[in-house]
Amino acid sequence: MGKNRKGAVLPQPAAVHGAGGKRPSAFFWALVALSILTLALGAWQWAAQRQTPAAQSRPAAAAAATRAPDFHLTAADGTSLSLDALRGQVVLLNFWATWCPPCKAEMPDLAALHRDFGPEHAFTVVGINVQEDLAAVQVFADQNAIPFPLLLDPDGIVSGKAYAIRSLPTSMILDRDGRVRDMWTGQIPKAAMLARLQQMW
């Protein structure tokens, strides 16, 4: 998490006209433009690094016709899993990383949904870790007793190329035919996730 940059100090009004009431020089306007650019760049970087938990949803109707790309990945426990093997189940795909605070914050809710509703509704959560090594994911899984598969995508082929994930966490709900029915970025409450899932049950 980076800190917001301090903005550059703009010249005082007296410096605008200078001595004798002369019009501002080209150098002055270049300095003003550079200051504004520095402020804008600092604000953008701070917002990008902040990983705000406020979620943004893609309308389910627009995503309904999209079939999720198949993948075959290895899990942190050494097993392997393909998306096609989950056909017939409702799947909540969650793209995450251990360095992402909102990703870790929502893991208990995802685990509870998997445990409480999985057997009754033929539902499973699948975590796809983005570009981290096995050791980091194993430690996280063991420390937090994660009950659902945590798959490894160390080269980013699934997350970056097949699914075009640009922000973490990103989650999506797949129906029993493997179609994307809902998608959001950021952390949302457990009740909100459950309400979205219930539309699939």
- Res. 146: pLDDT tops 50: yes
Going by their DSSP bridges, the two strands 72-74 and 80-82 should be labelled as antiparallel
Q: Which residue has the tokens 């600092």?
A: 42
Separation between Cα atoms, residue 137 and residue 97, nearest integer Å: 8
Quick: pLDDT tens for 30-86: 666 766 766 665 555 544 444 444 455 554 444 445 899 999 999 999 999 999 999
Residue scoring higher pLDDT (47 or 174): 174
Domain with CATH 3.40.30.10 in the chain: 56-198
- Identify the weakest region by mean pLDDT among 18-22, 24-28, 161-165, 182-186: 18-22
- Identify the weakest region by mean pLDDT among 26-40, 133-147, 184-198: 26-40
Residue scoring higher pLDDT (183 or 33): 183
Q: 14-23 — which CB contacts under 8 Å span 24+ positions?
A: none
Query: What is the reported pLDDT for 48?
Result: 44
pTM of the model as a whole: 0.70
Separation between Cα atoms, residue 11 and residue 33, nearest integer Å: 12
Query: What is the reported pLDDT for 26?
Result: 73
Separation between Cα atoms, residue 73 and residue 127, nearest integer Å: 11
pLDDT interval class at 196 (50, 70, 90) = very high
Average pLDDT over every residue of 81-94:
97
Q: What share of the chain is helix, strand, coil (3-state, %, to 5)?
A: 45, 20, 35
- Res. 1: pLDDT tops 60: no
Residues above pLDDT 90, as percent of the chain = 67
137: nearest Cα among 78, 60, 53, 59: 78
Handedness of CA 137, 141, 119, 95 (dihedral sign): negative
> What kind and span of H or E run contains 34?
helix 26-50
Superfamily of domain 56-198: Glutaredoxin (3.40.30.10)
